[in-house]
Each structure stands twice: as C-alpha cells, then as structure tokens.
Structure 1
C-alpha cells in the first residue's frame, strides 16, 4: 500500500477522564479505540503506532517525529 493512500488521524474524542476513546480519520471515518488499534496494526493508518503498556494493554501513540503538534493528545477534538 502506498504511503500516500493510507489514512491519517486528524481529530480525537476524549472521555470524561481525558483518555482517548475515538478517532476521526482523514477520510472522515470515526473509529473507536479497538477499531483504530486493529487498523494501525494492519498498516491502514499512517503516523500512528501501537505499543504494549506496562499493564499489558495495547495503546496508540503518534510516531515519534519531534513534532508535538501531531501527537494524538494535541489533535483537535470532535463530537
């Protein structure tokens, strides 16, 4: 799959605790956390990677590129 054909995450929705719970992609799709994890692992979404936390759960984070503006926590919110 060509890099330019992969979707990116452009906005996020957080729960009452400030934790990420949903993502909006560059094509306008809205993915819950588990859907986003599956798509990132499948290579369908660029600029994000999955990692295993100390609690053994899988989490998403933006690729480390030195640009804090595209970190998932810093993306615009959507309803």
Structure 2
C-alpha cells in the first residue's frame, strides 16, 4: 500500500518486443519494472493512470485509463 501523502507513480516509458507487445515499463521515479512486476503494482494501486483488464485468454493485462487523451496511451509512450 502506498504511504499516505506519497504521490503514486505513473508509467513514463515502455519497452516492446518484436511483435509490439509491451514487456517493461519505466516509472516516473525512474524504476524499471518487467510486465509481471508492473501488473502487480497496478493491482496494488501503486501506479496511477492505468488499470487491469481480463483478456479473452483469461490473463490480466495493463491498459491506460480511458481519458480521451491518446498521447498518454501506453502504446504511445516513448520507448527506452
């Protein structure tokens, strides 16, 4: 759980594999998380601006909150 008064992190950059799938995330504090770590932190509410959804395959996936701003979609973040 995020300590009170501490701002939650957000994702500022991503890594993708050859298929264009997201594989890692860089947070606003500079931490690098693999997909599994990122999914766990999103699940715990430690990352703002994103949520989890269940795909047709039953797996949980990370997606950006629908806010009408395509520039902050995860696919549109800079790569690192």
The interval holding the TM-score normalised by the smaller chain is over 0.9
Tell me which residue corresponds to 1:63.
65
Q: Could you give the per-residue CA deviations for residues 11-68 of structure 1, whole angstroms, max 9, x where no partner exists?
A: 0000011100000000000000000000000000000001100110110000000000
Q: Structure 1 73/21 Cα, relative in aligned 2: closer, same or farther at 3 Å?
A: same
Count of matched residue pairs:
78
**TM-score scaled to structure 2, two decimals?**
0.92
Unaligned runs of at least 5 residues, structure 2:
none
More helix by share: 1
Unaligned runs of at least 5 residues, structure 1:
none
Does the residue aligned with 2:12 lie in a helix, a strand or coil? strand
Does the residue aligned with 1:59 lie in a helix, a strand or coil? strand
Which 4+ runs in 1 deviate beyond 3 A? 1-4
- CA distance in structure 2 between the aligned counterparts of 1:3 and 1:21, rounded to whole angstroms: 30
Tell me which residue corresponds to 2:75.
73
